[in-house]
Amino acid sequence: MIIHDKQNGLFTLHTRSTTYQMKAGPYGVLLHTYYGPRISGGDLSCLIRYADRGFSPNPDEAGADRTYSLDTLPQEFSCAGAGDFRLPALELELPDGSHVADLRYTGCEIRRGKYALEGLPAFFGGEGDADTLAVTLEDRTAQVSVELLYGVFEEYDLITRAVRVTNRGEGPVYLRQISSLCLDFQRADLDFITFDGGHTVERYLHRSPLRPGVQSVGSVRGMSSHQHNPFVILCERDAGEEHGVCYGAMLLYSGNFQAAAERSQFEDTRLTMGIHPFHFRWVLAPGETFTAPEAALVCSPGGFGPMSRQFHRVIRAHLLRDPLAGSPKPVLINSWEAFYASFDTDKLLSLAKEAAALGVELFVLDDGWFVHRDDDTSSLGDWRADERKLPGGLAGLAASLRALGLDFGLWIEPEMVSEDSELYRAHPDWVLCPPGRPHIRGRGQLVLDFTRPEVREHIFQSIRSALAGVDIRYLKWDMNRCLTQVWSPSLPAGRQGEVYHRYVLGVYDLLERFRREWPRVLIEGCAGGGGRFDAGMLYYTPQIWCSDNTDAIDRLHIQYGTSFAYPTCAMGAHVSVSPNEQNGRVTPLETRGTVAMSGAFGYELDVRALSPEEKETVSRQIAAYKDCYGLIHYGDLYRLSPPGADGVPAAWAHVSPDRREALVSVVAGSTRAARPFRTLRLKGLDPALRYRVNGGESCPGDVLMAAGYPLPAPRGDYQSFQLHLIAE
Ligand code: GLA
């Protein structure tokens, strides 16, 4: 619900459990007055105190009033150059060379339904789902107007924000920094939580108290990155899974980003999230508009659990565009860790046959299928099936798989090119690289200049002809290196600061085109695993390969961190071989299944090599996953016990929305003698119901939650088990 109190210049956005408020205050400055647990209303600008602070300048309108300073007031959208020295959401470079932006409120509009953003990912919603508030600000001197867009999804406690900047003057204006999110708090006793790591160790949770100054994470790699995620949390110091106020903020963007929190001199906090300023300089010609990527906020008055569940629900309902339209995603087998690039049709089909017999539904042919691609040194860009390996072509393979009862899926890496390729030999100038510089390679490959429509067109057409006549249900869109030497011949020197962002827009453009061309094909995102696991990609690819690390125990941490923002159904997760290919760890097959089925489930190993008992286990896993599919994919996630807690097993539960069914998964760490007995207290059940556990004993919901369930003592390392609870 959006309430505009015209008399007092107040905008109050209510969701089910939260309230957000801003006010066009004195002189038209848009002040942020409140964001937090839902309140009845009123004018929260009474919380703002005024004082004459040294070295905090006063705008001209304030006259002799030295208590009015942009440096001390909570701003709704902060600008650089006009007296607010904290993190700016907007920095402009004007034709006269000045860097001043000073915005004043000019008007607003409230609409039913959620605004959309041309060419950018965004939450979507019709009239019954969401409302839009558009607030217009203007810098009259610079002749620049700014539209702040707010989407309010009441039921999900979600508030989205986006910004449009329009040049209404006669000369060019340069955007130097832009963040859709600027959020001021009149307190600084908060913790900052980020999700960080690297390739194969993505999204480990890090929490620290805000200290004076700026703390930030971001990426200048041209991708949202393995190292830091465009999702952060600010929370009260004692906030935990089920208590304390917390604010989750995500950016729907897959390129360079920055998320920064500043604890200011007066113990206030500002959180900004937007495009990273490194090498960003966007030229806005007269009349042009720039749209900044959307940010999305959930405030939870009751801890991280409810915050995550709201994000999961709203992402599932209003961000993912699932081509399978509600029917279960197929259990897949991926050829990569089974064969890498070394296979032929017989090998593929024998693997497929074995997998089909175990209950697998989709066969994904990973890297290595196109001309001369025997290792990762060649052929990217030449999207034609290698007839040595696939004499019947992709169509022949797909038909053979169909005969085995399997759907067909394929790996591609559209943004990349190998120097040893026909494409590179024909178009050496199609890669990102300034003239005269030797190439910097990543995994031996170069990055195509996706800012250029002709490059995207070529890639689209070549993949389209590779797939002509092929019965295909799935594509894995990979991206295996960071961007360097970012320069495009398509733009003049003064506009090279647009290339990083235009690259991302190009990726989104081609993804959208793929979705239109193959509306029934499920596209899984991938960037060396989790290098581009962000809400922007999820808009185009409703699931993303979570990490190249398939070790079940490392995955506990990766999937745990990922779950703070992103739903289970979006995390690609596979059972792979033991000892694990990435870290050599030995884990039981049951445990690998338990962890992988808390995701978009599949296998990635040579199932032909499994023993009869192991095959039996795989069949049971697939049947169990299918049985619990609705719970896992549409249920609510409760994190019961984090991974890595000293000796305590990691545990989590998926609970059906009506709370009549739950799947509890438990994975113990390495074992020792004389282990203490453990009792697991469950969450999310109906205290008034009794639940049958794994078809056997019957336990009351209140007992399971208050007193707990006695865990069996594991014998051996990394044991796991699952409890399937069904209400009687
Ligand atoms: C990346 C992906 C893997 C696999 C390989 C193939 O690393 O993350 O899953 O597809 O590329 O080269």
The predicted pLDDT at position 537 comes to: 98
Q: Is 478 in the pocket of ligand 1 (CB under 6 A)?
A: yes
Give the distance (Å) from ligand 1 centre to CA of residue 219.
Answer: 21
Q: By alpha-carbon position, which residue is closest to atom 12 of ligand 1?
A: 367
Query: With 90 as the cut, is the pLDDT of residue 664 above it?
Result: yes
Give the distance (Å) from ligand 1 centre to CA of residue 585.
Answer: 20
Mean pLDDT within 670-692:
94
3-state secondary structure of 512: helix
DSSP 188: -
Mean pLDDT within 569-582:
98
Q: Is 202 in the pocket of ligand 1 (CB under 6 A)?
A: no
The predicted pLDDT at position 675 comes to: 86
**pLDDT digits 0-9 by tens, 281-292:** 999 999 999 999
**pLDDT digits 0-9 by tens, 523-572:** 999 999 999 999 999 999 999 999 999 999 999 999 999 999 999 999 99
> Which numbered atom of ligand 1 lies nearest the CA of 529?
8
Q: Is 336 in the pocket of ligand 1 (CB under 6 A)?
A: yes
Query: With 80 as the cut, is the pLDDT of residue 485 above it?
Result: yes
The predicted pLDDT at position 715 comes to: 86
> Residue 674 — pLDDT band, cuts 50, 70, 90?
confident
Q: By alpha-carbon position, which residue is closest to atom 1 of ligand 1?
A: 528
Query: With 90 as the cut, is the pLDDT of residue 645 above it?
Result: no
The predicted pLDDT at position 285 comes to: 98
CB distance 702 to 666 below 8 Å: no
Mean pLDDT within 676-700:
96
Q: Report the alpha-carbon distance of residue 88 to residue 101 in Å, rounded.
A: 10
**What value does the mean pLDDT of the chain take?**
97
Mutate to test the pocket of ligand 1, among 367, 545, 576 (most ligand atoms within 8 A of CB): 367
**pLDDT digits 0-9 by tens, 120-147:** 999 999 999 999 999 999 999 999 999 9
Instruction: Look up residue 134 and give its amino acid.
Output: A
Instruction: Look up residue 713 and give its amino acid.
Output: A
Give the distance (Å) from ligand 1 centre to CA of residue 553.
Answer: 20
Q: By alpha-carbon position, which residue is closest to atom 8 of ligand 1?
A: 528
Mutate to test the pocket of ligand 1, among 339, 366, 378 (most ligand atoms within 8 A of CB): 366
The predicted pLDDT at position 240 comes to: 98
Q: Is 524 in the pocket of ligand 1 (CB under 6 A)?
A: no
Q: By alpha-carbon position, which residue is closest to atom 11 of ligand 1?
A: 528
Q: Is 529 in the pocket of ligand 1 (CB under 6 A)?
A: yes
Map 38-100 to HEC letters.
CCCCCCHHHHCCCCCCCCCCCCHHHCCCCCCCCCCCCECCCECCCCCCCCCCEEEECCCCCCC
3-state secondary structure of 343: coil
**pLDDT digits 0-9 by tens, 68-82:** 999 999 999 999 999
Element (H, E) at 257: strand 257-263
> Which numbered atom of ligand 1 lies nearest the CA of 528?
8
> Residue 457 — pLDDT band, cuts 50, 70, 90?
very high
Q: Report the alpha-carbon distance of residue 480 to residue 442 in Å, rounded.
A: 8
Mutate to test the pocket of ligand 1, among 337, 480, 546, 582 (most ligand atoms within 8 A of CB): 480
Q: Report the alpha-carbon distance of residue 635 to residue 564 in Å, rounded.
A: 15
Query: With 90 as the cut, is the pLDDT of residue 647 above it?
Result: no
- The token duo for 109 is 């509009």
pLDDT above 70 covers a percentage of the chain that reads 100
> Residue 648 — pLDDT band, cuts 50, 70, 90?
confident
The predicted pLDDT at position 714 comes to: 85
Give the distance (Å) from ligand 1 centre to CA of residue 528.
Answer: 5
Distance, first Cα to last Cα, the chain: 39
Mean pLDDT within 592-601:
98
The predicted pLDDT at position 689 comes to: 98
The residue assigned the tokens 């942020």 is: 32
Q: Is 418 in the pocket of ligand 1 (CB under 6 A)?
A: no
Q: Is 368 in the pocket of ligand 1 (CB under 6 A)?
A: no
Q: Spell out the residues 6+ positions from residue 213 whose beta carbon is closer than 8 angstroms to its own.
A: 262, 263
Label residue 382 left, alpha or beta by phi (over 0 means left) and psi (-120 to 50 means alpha): beta
Q: By alpha-carbon position, which residue is closest to atom 2 of ligand 1?
A: 528
**pLDDT digits 0-9 by tens, 79-93:** 999 999 999 999 999
Dihedral angle computed from the Cα positions of residues 50, 56, 61 and 62, in that order, rounded to the nearest 10 degrees: 40
Of 368, 361, 322, 369, nearest in space to 603 by CA: 361
Q: Spell out the residues 6+ positions from residue 493 whose beta carbon is closer than 8 angstroms to its own.
A: none
Query: With 90 as the cut, is the pLDDT of residue 672 above it?
Result: no
pLDDT above 90 covers a percentage of the chain that reads 97
Mean pLDDT within 678-687:
97
Query: With 90 as the cut, is the pLDDT of residue 325 above it?
Result: no
Give the distance (Å) from ligand 1 centre to CA of residue 548.
Answer: 7
pTM, rounded to two decimals: 0.98
> Residue 643 — pLDDT band, cuts 50, 70, 90?
very high
Give the catalytic positions in this structure: 534, 614
> Residue 646 — pLDDT band, cuts 50, 70, 90?
confident
Give the distance (Å) from ligand 1 centre to CA of residue 654.
Answer: 29
The predicted pLDDT at position 164 comes to: 98
β partners of residue 333: 363, 603
Mutate to test the pocket of ligand 1, among 343, 526, 541, 549 (most ligand atoms within 8 A of CB): 526
The predicted pLDDT at position 239 comes to: 98
3-state secondary structure of 192: strand
Mean pLDDT within 503-516:
98
Give the distance (Å) from ligand 1 centre to CA of residue 6.
Answer: 55
- The token duo for 190 is 């908060």
> Which numbered atom of ligand 1 lies nearest the CA of 411?
10
Q: Domains along the chain?
A: 2-318 (2.70.98.60), 332-634 (3.20.20.70), 639-727 (2.60.40.1180)
Give the distance (Å) from ligand 1 centre to CA of residue 525.
Answer: 11
